[in-house]
Structure 1
Amino acid sequence: MLNNIKPKTGRLLISEPFMADPNFKRSVVLLTEHGDEGTVGYILNQVGNLILNDVIQDLWDAKNYIYFGGPVAADTLHFIHRSYDKLQSGEPIGNGLYWGGNFETLKILLNTNAISADEVKFFMGYSGWDHGQLDREIEQNAWMVSDIFNPDLIFSNDDEKLWRDVIVNLGPKYAHISNFPVDPSLN
């Protein structure tokens, strides 16, 4: 195991630099649920080609990018936000962040520009692991876990920089990993 931090709701998973699975290459995943039933999270740094009003027509000016949340249920829309005061709904995941909430209220907030892009992030699909599966992947050094991050990172738009910043935040022992090339044959 690369570090001793265990997965938990509100923590980040950081893929090892040479992960072969293209769904998770250089990914940062925010865990929104972790328990006996398994684990759910969203990839924070894989922006897709769609914006919100491409998918939902009655969101006239919603120019929020939709991120690839993971390979599970890739035709479903999800969101993470830090605006409980405006939405009055959502499951708390820590660090002032919430998972989901009342989508009809969110649509009104988006259409009236009462909520900004740095307060909510949208995902198609999610990442999921059966009970024990993520623990096995961590033991195989496929993932590092972080419990230290600035919530502003969640709403970052710089996908590659997010992966590097989260690794650097793990401390000097891991900082050198952030400089590994995407293709190890280029080293």
Structure 2
Amino acid sequence: MKNAAPSYLKHHFLIAMPHMVDPNFAQTVTYIIEHNEQGAMGLVINRPNGLTLADVLEQLRPDDEPPAACRALPIFAGGPVQTDRGFVLHSPGLQYQATLDLGELALSTSQDVLFAIADGRGPEHLLIALGYAGWEAGQLEAELVDNAWLTCPADPRILFEVPVEQRLTAAAARLGINLGLLTSQAGHA
């Protein structure tokens, strides 16, 4: 009998369990962009880093005043890896210099997407992050075995429509779980 193919979590949410102590991931929801035998990559979607798109644009185009709407677009701490690198997770359909089609979503990493957003020509739905979450081969699987995460299929409405402070609760609710009722103590039978 052949071994079943591994179950990968691309286009899923990782929901941190209440006992998660890693400060990079405690009380987070992470959207998984890629997961395969070589590892996994994702973006934390519920942790604004205090910057806005206007702050970033002031660095990229110092001679231009960013549009007022850019002051309302938060930048997220996408994870602890390459925190100086930007990622825009967005609705599909528009292509930029560096855009990866993820199926239901797209991921762009070039500055032209930021300029398009500022100029009112950007994607309808978007989330901008600095840094990403990364796992080496087998690392995420080991964390799942250790009950560090809950997983569920991603829902673009949670990414783009649910207020930031409600995303963790909304993602857990997709599983019928109230995180407030889970114990923060880990145990093994």
Same fold, TM-score > 0.5, yes or no = yes
**8 A Cα contact 2:39 2:135, kept in partner:** yes
- What CA distance in whole angstroms lies between the structure 1 residues aligned with 2:133 and 2:115? 28
- Alpha carbons of structure 1 residues 73 and 108: separation in structure 2 relative to 1, 3 Å: closer
The structure in which a higher percent of residues are helix is 1
Q: Which residue of 1 aligns with 2:155?
A: 150
Partner letter of residue 8 of structure 1?
A: L
- Provide the secondary structure at the position in 2 that maps to 1:42: strand
- What CA distance in whole angstroms lies between the structure 2 residues aligned with 1:160 and 1:54? 22
Q: For each residue in 1:6-42, what CA deviation from the matched residue of structure 2 results, as whole angstroms up to 9, or x when unmatched? A: 4422111111022111111111111111112211000
Q: Which residue of 1 aligns with 2:3?
A: none
- Provide the secondary structure at the position in 1 that maps to 2:84: strand
- Provide the secondary structure at the position in 1 that maps to 2:20: coil
After superposition, residues 109-148 of structure 1 pair within 5 angstroms as 109-115=116-122, 119-147=125-153
**8 A Cα contact 1:9 1:93, kept in partner:** no
2:32 aligned with 1:28: no
**8 A Cα contact 1:153 1:162, kept in partner:** yes
Q: For each residue in 1:75-126, what CA deviation from the matched residue of structure 2 results, as whole angstroms up to 9, or x when unmatched? A: 21111010424659622224x211115532x24422321336x611111110
- What CA distance in whole angstroms lies between the structure 1 residues aligned with 2:84 and 2:97? 26
Query: Which of 145, 158, 165 is the matching residue for 1:160?
Result: 165
Unpaired segments ≥5 residues, structure 2: 1-5
**8 A Cα contact 2:89 2:106, kept in partner:** yes
- What CA distance in whole angstroms lies between the structure 1 residues aligned with 2:7 and 2:166? 24
Percent identity between matched residues is 26
- What CA distance in whole angstroms lies between the structure 1 residues aligned with 2:183 and 2:115? 41
TM-score, length basis structure 1: 0.80
Q: Which residue of 2 aligns with 1:77?
A: 86
- What CA distance in whole angstroms lies between the structure 2 residues aligned with 1:7 and 1:14? 15
Range with greater deviation from structure 2 (57-66 or 6-15): 57-66
2:111 aligned with 1:103: yes
- Provide the secondary structure at the position in 2 that maps to 1:91: strand
**8 A Cα contact 1:7 1:145, kept in partner:** no
**8 A Cα contact 1:66 1:124, kept in partner:** yes
Partner letter of residue 46 of structure 2?
A: N
Which structure is larger by alpha-carbon Rg, 1 or 2?
A: 2
Range with greater deviation from structure 2 (129-138 or 63-72): 63-72
Runs (4 or more) in structure 1 with deviation over 3 Å come to: 85-89, 180-184
2:6 aligned with 1:8: no
- Provide the secondary structure at the position in 1 that maps to 2:140: helix
- What CA distance in whole angstroms lies between the structure 1 residues aligned with 2:183 and 2:145? 22
Partner letter of residue 36 of structure 1?
A: E
Q: For each residue in 1:120-161, what CA deviation from the matched residue of structure 2 results, as whole angstroms up to 9, or x when unmatched? A: 1111110000000000000000011111x4312112463331
